[in-house]
Amino acid sequence: MAEDHQMLIDGIKSFFEYDDEINIIGTVNNGEELVKLVSLKQPKLVITDIRMPKMDGIEATKIIKQKHPEIKVLAMTMFDQPNAIKQMLDAGATGYILKNSGVKMLSKAIISVANGETFFDPNVAFNFMNSYVDENVTVGKSEKVVLSNREKEILQLIAKGKTSKQISEELFIAKTTVDTHRKNMIRKLNLNGVNELMKYAIDKKYNF
């Protein structure tokens, strides 16, 4: 996995730590290190961002597919522009997912691409994607959850590692109010406790 934001890597690794199907065997923060890691570890699938230091994900994907055509590549990025999608597909990627789509969709994307399917995030440019769709393409389903502006504000601070007390002081509200918002978000998002809420907040940090 290649991603230049270590916090996002840590959040994804934590989410998949006890997953029976997905095992993350290595992480790096730039394209050059990704190419080296792939040669060393020979993974079944590579997850890569597009914009990274030293070498971007497009160039890294080209090199990986030239040297190891059997390895699948899944792009995980903030870019939903048709040109970015086309460049990654031309480089050899068979999956494209946005960072703000959530780890559940990432899990589905990983399994689909690893099984030889092409996976598109439902939020990418559909007018571009439709020209590529065939019977082997999987399109993820959006899972819309409506959070209030205050809940989004608190979620952003949770992603920064702030405690309920720190959040209450920053937003000038009672700590009990923050705790209530936490409980409401856990219920709305169908999560299992505060640890999953933290993982969700980290995963969604690019959507704030």
> Based on the structure, what is the number of domains in the chain?
2
Where in the sequence is the domain holding 120, given as residue range(s)?
Answer: 6-139
CATH number at residue 89: 3.40.50.2300
pLDDT in tens, 18-52: 888 888 888 899 989 999 999 999 999 999 999 88
Number of other CB atoms surrounding residue 96 within 10 Å: 27
Number of other CB atoms surrounding residue 82 within 10 Å: 14
Same domain, 120 and 200: no
pLDDT in tens, 113-139: 998 888 888 776 554 555 555 545 555
| Residues 16, 166: Cα–Cα separation, whole Å | 29
pLDDT in tens, 81-93: 777 888 888 899 9
pLDDT in tens, 46-75: 999 998 888 899 999 999 999 999 999 999
The pair phi, psi for residue 62, each rounded to 5°, is -60, -45
**Of the candidates 139, 167, 190, which is a domain's last residue?**
139
* Res 18: pLDDT: 80
CATH number at residue 201: 1.10.10.10
Q: Which comes out higher in pLDDT, residue 104 or 96?
A: 96
- Written as one letter, the residue type at 69 is P
Percent of the residues in the chain that have a pLDDT greater than 70, as a whole number = 87
Same domain, 46 and 133: yes
Same domain, 169 and 200: yes
pTM above 0.95, yes or no: no
